Amino acid sequence: MRIRRTNIILAGCLAVSACQSGPTSQAVSDRNSEFGCIAGTVGGAIVGGLIGSTIGAGTGQVLAVGAGIGGGGYVGNRLACR
């Protein structure tokens, strides 16, 4: 009974997802591109900060985290905003 219910739910989800259409206007496409650009910048800053936090101790670690955030944000922006 449980497997049957799971299969019905899965089939319903697949049927609904097949009804989605792609972006129909330039505004929607631009908004999605802008979101990807922001996500790349923020994601890069987070990863850079985490990598920077593994370097040094005390004041040196604070500087490494700051440099990691700045560098990661820059690299993430350059990769996502082409």
pLDDT tens for the chain, 82 residues long, are 667 666 666 666 555 555 555 555 766 666 667 788 888 899 999 999 999 888 888 888 899 999 999 999 999 889 888 7
Exposure string (b/e) for 4-23, b if CB count within 10 Å is 16 or more? eeeeeeeeeeeeeeeeeeee
